[in-house]
Amino acid sequence: MKNLNPEFCKSVKLARREAGLTQGQLAAEVGCKQSALSMFEQGDGTKLNDEVIEKLAKKFNLSFGNQDSKEGSASNFQLSTLNFKLSSRGFCPNPHCPTNKEYFVEEIRLFLPDREAADPVGGKYCAMCGELLERMCPNCGAPVHSGAVCSLCGQPYISAV
């Protein structure tokens, strides 16, 4: 197999030793030459064909290359990236942007940022108007939360111009 992770070759070697098998015994079991298995265990993934590698993986419960292990970690990675993006959504500081909903509290003009609309993918610029997004309170630098006013310093996130 080309581009096989050398770590897989090493883990085959370790698993074989743990199982108390010689290279010859294991080679006979999975149907390859002992010399090929030996070179494979040195990290040369091209020495065995896919079928034999799959047998080894199955026998020792190992995962190789772009099969299960990478798929698993890739989806974990995507999940954590997604969580990060969701929690770090910016808001658009442009009071004229349609993502900011104007409202009044005791005749004070405020804007409620729709962070999901302004920053649907965790980007750098507002998806609606192209303004550079803010992820911090412009006044005190606290991370932005939902709502229109910073809970730390009391400053509205978007100042009406």
Residues that bind Zn ion (CB under 5 A): 92, 94, 97, 126, 128-129, 131, 137, 139-140, 142, 150, 152-153
Instruction: Give the shortest CB-102-to-Zn ion separation in angstroms.
Output: 13
Asked if 121 and 105 touch (Cβ cutoff 8 Å), the reply is: no
In terms of CB distance, is 41 or 119 closer to Zn ion?
119
CA distances from 84 to 4, 9, 55, 87, 89 (A): 31, 34, 39, 5, 9
In terms of CB distance, is 31 or 143 closer to Zn ion?
143
The SS3 call for residue 40 is helix
Q: How far apart are CA 71 and CA 13, in angstroms?
A: 23
In terms of CB distance, is 18 or 161 closer to Zn ion?
161
Instruction: Give the shortest CB-122-to-Zn ion separation in angstroms.
Output: 15
Asked if 111 and 102 touch (Cβ cutoff 8 Å), the reply is: yes
In terms of CB distance, is 52 or 150 closer to Zn ion?
150
Instruction: Give the shortest CB-81-to-Zn ion separation in angstroms.
Output: 23
Q: How far apart are CA 22 and CA 61, in angstroms?
A: 18
111 membership: H or E segment, kind and range: strand 108-113
In terms of CB distance, is 58 or 101 closer to Zn ion?
101
Instruction: Give the shortest CB-84-to-Zn ion separation in angstroms.
Output: 22
Instruction: Give the shortest CB-117-to-Zn ion separation in angstroms.
Output: 8
Q: Give 37: exposed, middle or buried? Use CB within 10 Å, 0-12, 13-18, 19+.
A: buried
